[in-house]
Amino acid sequence: MIDAYFLRFVIGGHETSKRRGQFAELPVARITTECGTAPLTRYGLRSERFSIPLSILTSVIMLGFLDQTINIMTLGGLALAVGILVDDATVTIENIDRHIEEGHDLRDAILLGAGQIAVPTLVSTLCICVVFLPMFFLSGVARYLFAPLAEAVVFAMLASYLFSRTLTPTLAMYLLKPSSGSRGPTRNPFVRLQRMFERGFENIREFYRNFLSALVSWRAVFVPVFLGLCLCAIPLTVWLGQDFFPSAESGQFLLHLRAKTGTRIEETARLCDLVEASIRRSIPEPEVDSILDNIGVPYSTINTVYNRSGTIGPADADILVSLKNRRRATADYVGELRPRLAAEFPGVTFYFLPADIVSQILNFGMPAPVNIQLDGANLEGNRQVANNLLNDLQQVPGIVDLRIQQRFDYPKYDVIVDRTRAIQGGFTQRDIASSLLVSLSGSFQTSPSFFLNPQNGVNYNLVTQAPQYTIQSLQSLQNLPISSPNMTRPEILTDVADLRRSSEMAVVSHYNIRRVIDIYASVENRDLGSAGKEITQIVDRRQSELPRGSAMTIRGQLSTMQKSYAGLIAGLAFAIVLVYLLIVVNFQSWLDPFIIITALPAALAGIIVFLFITHTRLSVPALMGAIMCVGVATANSILVISFAKERLAAHGDPLVAAVEAGGARFRPVVMTALAMIIGMIPMSLGAGEGGEQNAPLGRAVIGGLLCATLATLTFVPAVFGLLHHRRRRTEPAETAPPAEE
């Protein structure tokens, strides 16, 4: 089902508009990124216009080679990569521009500027790519969702680095102008605006240098205070809430109703008409696009396999309501209809099913995100435990649409044959059963007959069956005639048998051969994680009541979310370790890579705080954004620490080197962070159909980069000065020769 969803590009109005929204994010993200970073570099915008589309095109080609398709996840990955793609080109152009301003020849400035940052940017690019490596070790639906996104980002990043090392310097040779050494007056408004911005930016950079110098001087106080502020954000995770995937505004909802067990399909159809009328009274007529009813069990067994609504008989029906020009959220209408329908139609079970295809995939074909399954041979004992469990779950806040899927009250008649009277009349058990089968179900299964039409040569089935309208009561059922080759006289059913009312299961369900009872539930106005904790506690408490040989398991979206969270959190930790080891190999040191990754606590704290401020729950896309921030924050810190190492080797003062590195790399770090943040704004707004599902990813990246950039420009240089200054003081004492006696 997941592959089919990704392969279908145009499914209908809702899915098509959802993809239009994803397509719109790419040009919007690129325009906002270019406009936001254009004032920070005077010449780079024209070169970036080539590198960004070429990198995206290369990524699309590589995705095609891997048999991936254009879908909401690959488009989300490309939109996520747009902000990062500006990094390589802008940093290259900024470094070339700095060498031009220092008086170098254009060709020498290009060679020096591009060569100076070749290794740091390579390490930065690899750090961003490495953090996506754990995505390929996920299992289940999370891997199918986020592996294409990771591939799109990685291919675009590698292509961007390649173009920034080859195409960008080549274009710079033709597009950049050598420094004239003087700036005379001009009437060009764009030049005057650029010069005004440069003066303002230099004032900001000078203020930043003085501020950073003060922080480095007070490094022993600033470093623990900053770490303490980052740790203060951890308690906010309690109020964030956890969801597997954000719910999407699909503009439609699917209502399932179940009448009393044994209701005929005609009565179910009449009930659907009454429910439709109630829905139209609740929703304004201009907002109702269509209402589609699907009543009863599918005729084909193939359709039954793909049924996701839990239909078990003619008393079930699905009502799909599509909305248009809606002024309110679909969830608001669902919240109003749930108590209203229950009050208007007592005795009828109503529950709402996921209408959008993403939620249906995440539920793995189940009609609800929470499924508690009891399996075992003692069905009656399991039923008692299920009823007790149902009563406990009704007390959990936020749990709605709670029900037991299997019905145990399907009405039936037991035909109890008096064998003495039957033998006296010349009837056997087989004769009575065959007579009932022919009268109630037809004779085609027992003795098929055909009629060949000589005019058209077509065979027609001939069926002998009592008309259904003649059996309207128990009396008419008792008066059914029975026949036998050995009968002595004509008899009716009541002469040889008694009829008794009883009940049985309406449907028998199996899982791995074992008979099961399913309890389904949904969550409303509450996060799935907190509700799942209470559900797990109740299930654990009821485990001891199970009969011997029975088991109780939590399945559905809840268990999948828990496994995906464990995999992504482990992937986040693994990504940090991989990034650290990669930097260790490059710097040939254990200390400097540790200084570089000290910006990560601030990034994680920024993610938590920003999600809390925007009232966004923690979800799998948000964790993806956290993993993304690990790479980007590390990349910016590499630029600062690599330059600080150069200055430290030049004059040997770590405090001065930290301040010089912060001032020199202030512009590229701000450009990188600002490009990424602005590129994530369209995604974080959640605009368009289905935009809510990728919004947590964009918000997590924005919040993480805001704090990570602050840490890169202040905290990381302070840590560099603190640790290297102590190292410089301890090295002479350790290397001093022993005193002569």
Instruction: Tell whether 99 is covered by a domain.
Output: yes
Q: Which residue has the higher pLDDT, 1 or 117?
A: 117
In a domain, 32, yes or no: yes
Do residues 233 and 605 lie in contact, with contact meaning Cβ atoms separated by under 8 Å? yes
Residue 109 has pLDDT above 70, yes or no: yes
Could you read off the pLDDT of 344-399 as tens digits, one per residue? 888 888 988 887 777 777 777 788 888 899 998 888 888 999 999 999 998 888 88
Virtual torsion, Cα 93, 94, 98, 101, nearest 10 deg = 70
Residue with token string 């508009």:
17
In contact, 472 and 377? CB cutoff 8 Å:
no
Residues 441 and 329 in one domain: no
Cβ of 140: how many Cβ atoms within 10 Å? 14
Phi–psi pair at 315, nearest 5 degrees: -85, 0
Q: Is residue 258 part of a domain?
A: yes
DSSP per residue over 74-85, as a string? Answer: HHHHHHHHHHHH
User: How does residue 732 score in pLDDT terms, banded at 50, 70 and 90?
Assistant: low
pLDDT, residue 286, reads 86
pLDDT tens digits along 161-171: 888 888 888 88
Segment 612-665, tens digit of pLDDT: 998 888 888 888 788 778 777 887 888 788 888 888 888 778 888 888 888 888
Q: Are residues 293 and 147 in the same domain?
A: no
Residue 491 and residue 577 in one domain: no
In angstroms, how far is the first alpha carbon of the chain from the final one?
Answer: 84
Residue 271 is predicted with a pLDDT of 92
Residue 683 domain-assigned? yes
Is there a single domain that holds both residue 621 and residue 722? yes
Structural contact between residues 404 and 385, judged by C-beta atoms closer than 8 angstroms: no
114 and 216 fall within a common domain: yes
Q: Are 421 and 446 in contact (CB under 8 A)?
A: no
The interaxial angle of helices 600-613 and 219-231, nearest 10 deg, is: 40
State which residues form the domain around 133: 2-245+561-731
> Which residues are registered as beta bridge partners of 290?
322
Phi-psi region of 179 (alpha: psi -120 to 50; beta: other; left: phi over 0): beta
pLDDT tens across 658-681, in order?
Answer: 888 888 888 878 877 887 788 788
Tokens of 544: 């001891």
Q: Which of 459, 485, 504 is the last residue of a domain?
A: 504
Nearest residue to 664 via CA among 634, 631, 635, 642? 642
- What's the rounded mean pLDDT across residues 317-321? 89
Query: 270: pLDDT confidence band, cut at 50, 70 and 90?
Result: very high
Task: State how many domains the chain has.
Answer: 3
Same domain? 120 vs 186: yes
Last residue of a domain, one of 437, 470, 504: 504
C-alpha to C-alpha distance for 652 and 142, rounded to whole angstroms: 49
More confident residue, 210 or 586: 210
Q: Which of 416, 378, 594 is nearest to 500 (CA)?
A: 416
Asked whether residue 367 is domain-assigned, the answer is no
pLDDT over 70 (residue 690): no
Whether residues 708 and 725 fall in one domain: yes
Residue 255 sits in the same domain as residue 197? no
551 lies in some domain: no
Distances (CA, A) of 532 to 241, 359, 392, 528, 636: 11, 17, 14, 6, 39
Question: Do 498 and 600 sit in the same domain of this protein?
Answer: no
pLDDT of residue 274: 92
Dihedral in degrees, nearest 10, Cα atoms 591, 579, 665, 679: -160
Give me the sign of the Cα torsion angle 717, 718, 719, 723.
positive
Mean pLDDT of 578-588: 80
- Are 203 and 96 part of one and the same domain? yes
State which amino acid sits at residue 275: V
Q: Is 12 exposed, middle or buried (0-12, 13-18, 19+ CB in 10 A)?
A: exposed
pLDDT at 520 over 50: yes
For 412, how many CA atoms within 13 A lie in the half-sphere containing its CB? Answer: 11
Per-residue pLDDT tens over the stretch 8-23? 232 333 444 444 444 4
Are 239 and 261 members of one domain?
A: no
Residues 42/684, Cβ–Cβ less than 8 Å: no
Mean of the pLDDT values across residues 252-277? 89
**Last residue of some domain: 355, 374, 401?**
355
Of 282, 327, 245, the C-alpha closest to 617 is: 245
What does the pLDDT average to over 103-121?
Answer: 79
pLDDT of residue 305: 65
**CATH number for the domain that contains residue 473:** 3.30.2090.10
Q: Considering the domain boundaries, does residue 545 fall inside one?
A: no
CATH number (domain holding residue 326): 3.30.70.1430
Tally of CB atoms within 10 A around 48:
27
In this prediction, residue 691 has a pLDDT band, given cuts at 50, 70 and 90, of low
DSSP 351: E
CB atoms within 10 A of CB 195: 14
Residue 303 has pLDDT above 70, yes or no: no
Question: Average pLDDT, whole number, for the chain?
Answer: 79
Q: Within 13 Å, how many C-alpha atoms sit on residue 58's CB side?
A: 19
Query: 481 has which bridge partners?
Result: 492
Kindly report the backbone phi and psi dihedral angles of residue 501, in degrees, each rounded to the nearest multiple of 5, phi listed first. -80, 140
Based on the fold, state whether residues 50 and 73 are members of the same structural domain: yes
Q: Where are the alpha helices (DSSP H) in 106-175?
A: 106-116, 118-130, 141-175
Q: What is the pLDDT of residue 1?
A: 31
DSSP 740: P
> What are the distances in angstroms from CA 287 to CA 272, 328, 692?
20, 10, 21
What pLDDT was estimated at residue 740? 44
> Does any domain span residue 543?
no
Domain containing 716 — which CATH number? 1.20.1640.10
Per-residue confidence (pLDDT) for residue 734, from 0 to 100: 47
